[in-house]
Amino acid sequence: MSKWSAGTALPGLVVEVVKRLRDEAVEELPSLQWAAEQCRTVFQVRAAGVLLADRDGGLQVAAATSPPVQALQRLATARGQGPGPACFRRGVLVLVPELPAVRGRWPQYASAARGAGICSVGSFPLHDRRAGGGLLGVLSLFDVRPGPLRSPPAAVQVVADAAALALTQRRVANQLPPREGQMDQHVSGRLLIEQAAGVLAERWQSDVTIALEALRKHARRQQMPLAEAARAILEGGPGSLPLA
């Protein structure tokens, strides 16, 4: 993929990242893993990963597109070394075009990166834009060749900002105080949605993600809550199935 084609893919990636991270039927970590995979492809790097802030103010590995990068991110969070933790502390993007150059500053991280074949890293902040929100985490891109990123850093930050906005909205919605019985209904509704998507995917011999998107569109056309549309599909009522 060339730089130009990557630029063409950027708007679609932003839209999909927001949709996935706000989707009540998909857990947060699988959505972040999907976003990391897409960033790896669109921005033409070897790997991508996401670190999320925990309740104690530290960082935890939330997504990684390869086992070596997952191990590298774990070392970064444990030692507080590397572009990811530095980005989190400062709240600004950190670009390291040549990791050997920072061996004196981050010795364990630089050594582990060399063992993983990683020569350059760019880390981008996930800003919580609410007053006093701080940072939600960090999106990082890893490459096997030294030098600047193949895509403009501003383009990567656009995706990071979109992911941060969607995460913030998702968490705000989840923190709303549930009414009596609402939590049980929410869990039951998610189970219905997952089961209905599984039924459609099996019937169409398709991916569950495709079936879930078809279920959402069907619910919007029918002007029904997603869980009710899922229940209708499982119960097999007339006109309940969306078009394949």
Q: What is the DSSP letter of 101?
A: G
For residue 46, count other CB atoms closer than 10 A to its CB.
Answer: 19
For residue 145 the two structure tokens come to: 């060749």
Between the alpha carbon of residue 133 and those of residues 91, 115, 122, 140, 156, the distances in Å are: 11, 36, 23, 20, 21
- Give the position of tokens 């189970």: 191
How far, in Å, CA of 203 to CA of 210, rounded?
Answer: 12
Q: What pTM value is reported for the model?
A: 0.71
Say how far apart CA 225 and CA 227 lie, in whole Å.
Answer: 6
* DSSP state at residue 207: -
Any idea how long the chain is?
244
Per-residue pLDDT of the chain (244 residues; tens, 9 = 90+): 444 355 567 778 888 888 888 887 788 899 999 999 999 999 999 999 999 998 888 999 999 999 999 999 999 999 999 999 999 999 999 999 999 999 999 999 999 999 999 999 999 999 987 767 789 999 999 999 999 998 889 989 989 999 998 898 888 877 655 444 444 444 456 667 777 777 777 677 777 778 788 888 888 887 778 888 887 877 765 455 665 5
CA distances from 38 to 62, 147, 171, 211, 241 (A): 15, 21, 22, 20, 30
